[in-house]
Structure 1
Amino acid sequence: MLPQTNESQITELRELDRRVMRLARIKAVLEWDQETNLPPEGVLERSEQLALLEGLIHEAKTSHHLGALTTGLHDATLPSDGDRALVDRLYRDYQRSSKLSQEFAERKARLVGLAQSAWAQARRDSDFQQFAPYLRQLVELARETADRVGYTEEPYDALLVEYEPFTTTKELRRVFDELEPGVSRLTARIKEAPPQDTSFLYRRYPREHQEAVVHEMMTLLGFDSRAGRLDTTAHPFCTTLGCHDVRITTRWDENFFNMAFFGAIHETGHALYEQGFDPRLAETSLASGTSLGLHESQSRFWENMVARSRPFAEFYFPLLRRHFPEALAGVDAEKFYRAVNRVEPSLIRVEADEVTYTLHILLRFRLETALLDGSLSSDEVPAAWNELSQKLLGVRPENDAEGCLQDIHWAMG
């Protein structure tokens, strides 16, 4: 029989975890609002609000009581696998977070709040210099994080563990080293084949009809609109504000079909993962992705394995014809299927085909590891990005928005 002490300790631990999760969800509401609705003049105050909340979250995650409970239960006999998973998760989080001060957590949250707004404006203006001062500070904070939490081989290891637990930079590099030549050879072979006609994807697709199609597709895939919503942002994302509140965003282009349609399906994949958690895990640290890779596997499964498959394209193509009769005049389901699966190196990661997408990730991996180890300065990023894009993909960005400013992730810290 489990000692009564352990049962009471687990109950206490769950309550402490619930407080952390509630604070984190409140912060997520402010972050969602910043990306969707916040007026420009509200950014400075919002960054202070986010810093305050992050400080409270850090204080709760590193409390002496939580640390004592996780340490005491770490090697104890527990009543269920779920309890073991929760204790192990909170133990790892405590060990890491306790190496970072509350002041550091607040400083980072404050900077990220400002950096995301600066990135959005810089991207609109295609001007890296507007974002450069923030990137320099973010890289410095990333290095400080690595120094504080420690690492065995490379500073990137200290950051990677937040996204892919138990994975090392060395392991990732080995995977990329194996993938790169094979992907390059495959891309070269595909280039020799007759190109597929994609011109009709760049005809006019009125936004109101795109929105109707996207909402219908989300419902078909199983998204619960009573427990979520769709909004518009510069960079698509999915966020969880509560166990019954999962929100996604996309962006619209009336002259390019793929952007909103496949972007929304990708984010719906993330949302389905979040909406699919066991209700018994609500308001616990276990009601989140096991790893970013697993989360991304779900979004790309729905975006590519399902939505770009021939059977599914045949299924939903009549819906597209009803909404876009002019744009899809003379196009049948087979032609559409071939067009949305065309392999062609491109500049924008979120619009990349399945074959060359890996090279976009490799580009970022090489730049990020170089930034962390100091072999690349933040001021050198635009030129380095363009050179790597040319080397890996065979295409060179004509401006910063097509290159190093295309993704929001660096601004997120």
Structure 2
Amino acid sequence: MQDKLKELKSYLSEVYDLNNISALLNWDQNTFMPKGGATARGRQLGLMEKIAHEKKTDREIGRLLDELASYEKSLPVDSQDAAVIRVARRQYEKAVQVPASFMAEMVSHLTDTYQVWVEARSANDFTKVQSYLEKTLDYSRQYAEYFPHEHIADPLIDDSDEGMTVEVLRPLFSDLRKQLVPLVKAIAEQDPVDDSCLKKHFPEQEQWKFGLDVIRQLGYDFDRGRLDKTHHPFMTKFSLGDVRITTRVKENNMTEALFSSIHETGHALYEQGISMNFEGTPLAQGASSGVHESQSRLWENIVGRSYGFWKHFYPKLQATFPEQFRRVSLDTFYRAINKVEPSLIRTDADELTYNLHVMIRFDLELDLLEGRLAVKDLPEAWRERYKSDIGVFDPKDADGVLQDVHWYFGNIGGAFQGYTLGNILSAQFYDAALRAKPNIPNQIQDGEFGVLHGWLKENLYQYGSQYTAADIVKRATGSDLTVKPYLAYLQEKFGKLYSLK
């Protein structure tokens, strides 16, 4: 059995490396590649997807999994070998449902679509990419049809958040919306917070240096990573020893680069914290999209926008930008970075309204997949939902339906639910960390993040995908997924900020 397991791991290691080669090509496309390389890059990524898909659906993997079934049952449930077999079986059984030729064709199309999206967004013209998006919708539906499902979005959701379905998510999001809307409304009735201190001129070089210092102090390992610029910030991994992040810089708003860098650092800390024993196996990745997003939101919002965090870092920020912040108090700055205000851009949204952005996209995805909304009508449907749900809209496509890269670089469906699940779980994980280590807030105030980072590594990061998302949440926090810590966190923080009863 050990020989068979070793043979299985050899196949899995090749799949792992092929996927990471594709990730490297994607990273290059999103950072340094000249636009003239787009067509060839599409062919290259399509070829890589075809080779990887053929490898991970090799009949030898199926044979080995069958022969290892009894051995798996004899192993402790929480053993690494049992987890490797379990996760490999899940991935294999899903992969064999989809032809390699289809995957290669779809990936090549999505690569082309990304380049067209960059141009369409720059030109503020949705029609440039409309036909590409229509084809993406067709591919997304075709992909879903390869799997049994109750709702056409379920297979797409399951790829990112195993076990989650439309039936589970719709009521969860509905309940959350009911709790958030009154809080947002109560704040909207007050005088707006003055955040003009954030909208002065901040030279890129100084922003970059300050951001590097912050994420290094949080624990990002630059011996196993790097920070670069891109159109849409992201984290990617080529191995557990090479976890990279990107950001974008606006010289008229210093929060853009800083908080997107902290956000992506949260993702990277998770990946860098996975046990090195998992390298080359399907366990060397996060448990789910929602669990992954919980770490970016935990570090960006719960830590990075906390008063204690800035009690430590604000003097350093003032020293970096003396002209901009010399006469701005910490309290004024803290209120500014936590301002609640309806906005057009998801990535710029505050903690309270952010989930409304996600829910709009989730609902529109379902409408598209169900055939109740045509792609050509998407820009107008987008504006109508923003008017009704958030109270703002912009006739420009660039700040509307073109603002997110997701639909132009991946399937339609299965991505956005992870953001709200991540928000919910961020507070649940942090609440568990505080119960175990009550002094964490004081340590954050002193600029010490090792205890929180250590608790997360011990209870979450090291396990990668050894456990399902549901299992790791239960193991780390002692309970199933719950919105209570998240709502309590929001009510306490913003209740104080806005003097709400």
Could you say whether these structures have the same fold, taking a TM-score greater than 0.5 normalized by the shorter chain as the test?
Answer: yes
Aligned counterpart, 1:3: none
Aligned counterpart, 1:287: 284
Query: Is 2:41 the counterpart of 1:38?
Result: no
Distance apart, 1:75 and its partner CA: 4.8
Give the secondary structure class of the aligned counterpart of 2:250: coil
Query: Is 2:16 the counterpart of 1:18?
Result: no
Match of 2:130 among 125, 129, 132: 132
CA contact (8 A) 1:205 1:256 kept: yes
Distance apart, 1:149 and its partner CA: 1.9
Match of 1:159 among 156, 159, 165: 156
Query: 1:314 and 1:218 mapped to 2: Cα distance?
Result: 16
> What letter corresponds to residue 35 of structure 1 in structure 2?
N
Match of 2:332 among 326, 335, 339: 335
Query: 1:349 and 1:28 mapped to 2: Cα distance?
Result: 25
CA contact (8 A) 1:48 1:110 kept: yes
> Deviation digits for residues 226-261 of structure 1, max 9, x if unmatched?
111111111000000112111111111000121111
Deviating more after overlay: 189-198 vs 19-28: 189-198
Aligned runs of 1:177-216 on 2, under 5 Å?
177-216=174-213
**Identity over aligned pairs, percent:** 39
Match of 1:120 among 118, 122, 128: 118
Aligned counterpart, 1:409: 406
Query: 2:4 and 2:362 mapped to 1: Cα distance?
Result: 41
CA contact (8 A) 1:74 1:88 kept: no
Aligned counterpart, 1:264: 261
Distance apart, 1:334 and its partner CA: 1.5
Aligned runs of 1:224-235 on 2, under 5 Å?
224-235=221-232
CA separation of 1:92/1:333 partners in 2, compared to 1, >3 Å: closer, same or farther? same
Query: Is 2:335 the counterpart of 1:345?
Result: no
For structure 2, the 5+ residue unaligned runs are: 411-501
Match of 2:50 among 50, 55, 80: 55
Query: 1:342 and 1:266 mapped to 2: Cα distance?
Result: 18
Aligned counterpart, 1:85: 83
Distance apart, 1:338 and its partner CA: 1.0
Query: 1:332 and 1:169 mapped to 2: Cα distance?
Result: 46
Query: 1:20 and 1:112 mapped to 2: Cα distance?
Result: 21
> What letter corresponds to residue 223 of structure 1 in structure 2?
Y
For structure 1, the 5+ residue unaligned runs are: 1-5
Distance apart, 1:78 and its partner CA: 4.6
Deviating more after overlay: 319-328 vs 75-84: 75-84
Give the secondary structure class of the aligned counterpart of 2:139: helix
Match of 1:364 among 361, 365, 369: 361
When the two structures are superposed, what TM-score results if normalisation uses the length of structure 1? 0.97
Deviating more after overlay: 121-130 vs 209-218: 121-130
Query: 2:318 and 2:287 mapped to 1: Cα distance?
Result: 39
When the two structures are superposed, what TM-score results if normalisation uses the length of structure 2? 0.80
Query: 2:338 and 2:216 mapped to 1: Cα distance?
Result: 23
Query: 2:339 and 2:300 mapped to 1: Cα distance?
Result: 14
Query: 2:329 and 2:5 mapped to 1: Cα distance?
Result: 59
> Deviation digits for residues 96-129 of structure 1, max 9, x if unmatched?
1111101101101101110111111111111111
Query: 1:281 and 1:303 mapped to 2: Cα distance?
Result: 27
Query: 2:128 and 2:229 mapped to 1: Cα distance?
Result: 23
Aligned counterpart, 1:145: 143
Distance apart, 1:397 and its partner CA: 2.1
> Deviation digits for residues 239-293 of structure 1, max 9, x if unmatched?
0011211111111100012111101100000011111110101121111110000
> Deviation digits for residues 39-97 of structure 1, max 9, x if unmatched?
11111011000011101100111000101222333453354521121111111111111
